[in-house]
C-alpha cells in the first residue's frame, strides 16, 4: 500500500498512544476519600460542590430530520446565504426557523 493513501479499515480506530499505558494512568480515588474531600471543601467554601458519585447524563433528545427540495429564485438564495454568513448561522437553521415562524403565523391567522 502506498504511504500517501489512507487505509479505510484502520481509519475508524485511533492510533494507540505509546506514551499512555495502564501503569502511567493515575488510579481513581475511592468514594470514601472523595466524600472526605467534599466535607473539607464544604467547610472552607460552602458554595463549592464536589461530586462524589458518577451520575449518568441524559442524552439530548434529537429530532429526526428529513430533506426537502425547493426551487427558489437565485437572488433569494444569494441573499439568504449572505445573511447567514454575515450573522454566522447555518443556512439550514435559518430555513428551519423561518418555516416554523411562518407556519405559526398561518395557524394563528386561521384561528382568528
Whole-number pLDDT of residue 61: 79
| Residue positions counted in the chain | 112
If you ran DSSP here, which 8-state letter would residue 25 be given? S
pLDDT score at 97: 94
Note the pLDDT tens digit of each residue in 59-68: 777 888 889 8
Q: Treating both helix axes as pointing N-terminal to C-terminal, what angle do 74-86 and 91-111 enclose, rounded to 10 degrees?
A: 110
- The mean pLDDT value for 12-34 works out to 59
Grid coordinates of 22: 495502564
Q: Report yes or no: 74 and 82 within 8 Å, Cβ to Cβ.
A: no
How do residues 66-111 score in pLDDT, each as one tens digit? 898 999 999 999 999 999 999 999 999 999 999 999 999 999 999 8
Torsion of CA 37, 38, 39, 43, to 10 degrees: 100
Quote the CA–CA distance of 57 and 10 in Å, as a whole number: 31
Question: What band does 55 get if pLDDT is binned at 50, 70 and 90?
Answer: confident
Tell me what pLDDT residue 52 has: 72
Q: 20-29, 34-43, 95-104: which has the minimum mean pLDDT?
A: 34-43
Comparison of pLDDT for 21 and 103, the residue scoring more: 103
Q: Which three cell numbers stand for residue 75?
A: 437572488
Amino acid at each position: 500500500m502506498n504511504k500517501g493513501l489512507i487505509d479505510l479499515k484502520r481509519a475508524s480506530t485511533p492510533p494507540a498512544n505509546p506514551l499512555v499505558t495502564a501503569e502511567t494512568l493515575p488510579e481513581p480515588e475511592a468514594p470514601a476519600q472523595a466524600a472526605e474531600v467534599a466535607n473539607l471543601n464544604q467547610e472552607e467554601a460552602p458554595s463549592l460542590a464536589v461530586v462524589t458519585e458518577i451520575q449518568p447524563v441524559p442524552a439530548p433528545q434529537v429530532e429526526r430530520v428529513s430533506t426537502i427540495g425547493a426551487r427558489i429564485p437565485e437572488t433569494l438564495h444569494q441573499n439568504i446565504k449572505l445573511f447567514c454568513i454575515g450573522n454566522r448561522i447555518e443556512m439550514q437553521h435559518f430555513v428551519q426557523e423561518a418555516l416554523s415562524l411562518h407556519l405559526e403565523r398561518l395557524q394563528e391567522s386561521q384561528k382568528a
